[in-house]
Amino acid sequence: MEHVLFLAHTEADNTLHKSAHEALSAAKTLAEGLGASLSAGLVGGEVQAAADSIAGCGAEKIFGVSGETFGQSRYATDAAAFEALAKAAGASIVVAPSTSRINRALPGAAQRLGGVCDTDTTGAAASGDQASIKRWFYRQRMVAEMTRTERPWFITIAPGSLSAWEGASGGASVESVAVDVDTRTQVTGQKAPAADEQTIRPDAKLLFVTGAGWTKKQKDGQVHGQRAAQIIKGFLHNASCSLGSSKSLTDMSAEGGQVLPFLSHLNQVGQTGSTPRHPKGLATCCHGEEPHVVGWRFINERRAVNLDANCGWAHGKADVLYVADAFEVMEKVNALLGG
């Protein structure tokens, strides 16, 4: 008989992130489908508020590893906490969100317990007494449905792939699990860019993609790099969207061409870039070639602005193609948005 453990860490404000609620949906789907029992395990500086927020999820028990040491993301303490929680719950299947913190330490916990770990899965299902996961391969070109016989089986769920669990909060009773762990790493503080300097925003409703066209000669025979930068930054600010880029545009920095200074290779979307998940996407001055568009696999509604009515987007890769000058369109959009 399987026992499913939902595992998550709290955020700096002691809440659970949306991705944790999505993983909880997967854990519940598995537990209900398998007829298995469900428990929850939380790690953080303070876990009571998070436990209260999922009090109505149907977990038999909620275990917690808390204290100042566990408020920080650190391999040694996280791996020890995850291991202790899986043991305390007697879990045969552990489901957690694919956060960088979980993905870094969970495989270590799986190894210590003689189990296996599949990260970045996009779904979990149960048929009879068989649990299965969905995982994409070959740069998101092929999807596989997989089962495993090894236990404990640790599974992380990619953010944005499932609906978040919603349910009643309440007063939860947390069973505290003691973890004795030594660490040489002391976290003395955090350095992060200001929120408005951060252009990659995984939770944004819109992915705004810029292509090489923004830095190419326009109809007046001139390049308008500064104007392009101003328009793009204005739209990022006005729409609070996430910034993606084509490979050609990010590669220009290496080739010494005219570059948008706030773009890095981390913004690149595509076969050799990222595959972000957003409800909507808007591509501008980008041709829509296959190695780029393959990174749009998980964008639900796709639109593009291109001068070329025969660009890649027109060949079934976008839901709507506006054949127009992106400089003019986006300036107008920014004006309408009040920026």
Ligand X SMILES: Cc1cc2nc3c(=O)[nH]c(=O)nc-3n(C[C@H](O)[C@H](O)[C@H](O)COP(=O)(O)OP(=O)(O)OC[C@H]3O[C@@H](n4cnc5c(N)ncnc54)[C@H](O)[C@@H]3O)c2cc1C
Give me the residues that bind ligand X (CB under 6 A), please: 211-213, 216, 218, 246-249, 268-273, 285-287, 289, 291-292, 295, 305-308, 311, 325-327
Q: Between residues 2 and 289, which has the closer beta carbon with respect to ligand X?
A: 289
Q: Between residues 164 and 324, which has the closer beta carbon with respect to ligand X?
A: 324
Residue 48: CB minimum distance to ligand X, A: 44
Peptide bond into 291 cis (omega under 30): no
Q: Between residues 118 and 325, which has the closer beta carbon with respect to ligand X?
A: 325
User: What gap in Å lies between CA 210 and CA 246, rounded to an integer?
Assistant: 6
Residue 236: CB minimum distance to ligand X, A: 18
Q: Give the residue carrying structure tokens 């007046």.
A: 220
Q: List, in order, residues 6 or more apart from 176 with CB less than 8 Å away.
A: 63, 64, 65, 66
User: What gap in Å lies between CA 264 and CA 259, rounded to an integer?
Assistant: 10
Q: Between residues 188 and 310, which has the closer beta carbon with respect to ligand X?
A: 310
- The DSSP string of 75-140 is HHHHHHHHHHHHHHHT-SEEEEE--HHHHHHHHHHHHHTT-EEEEEE-EEEEETTEEEEEEEETTT
Q: Are 65 and 25 in contact (CB under 8 A)?
A: no
Q: Between residues 64 and 211, which has the closer beta carbon with respect to ligand X?
A: 211
Residue 240: CB minimum distance to ligand X, A: 23
Q: Give the residue carrying structure tokens 């299947």.
A: 93
Q: Between residues 38 and 318, which has the closer beta carbon with respect to ligand X?
A: 318
Residue 80: CB minimum distance to ligand X, A: 37
Residue 273: CB minimum distance to ligand X, A: 4
Residue 206: CB minimum distance to ligand X, A: 18
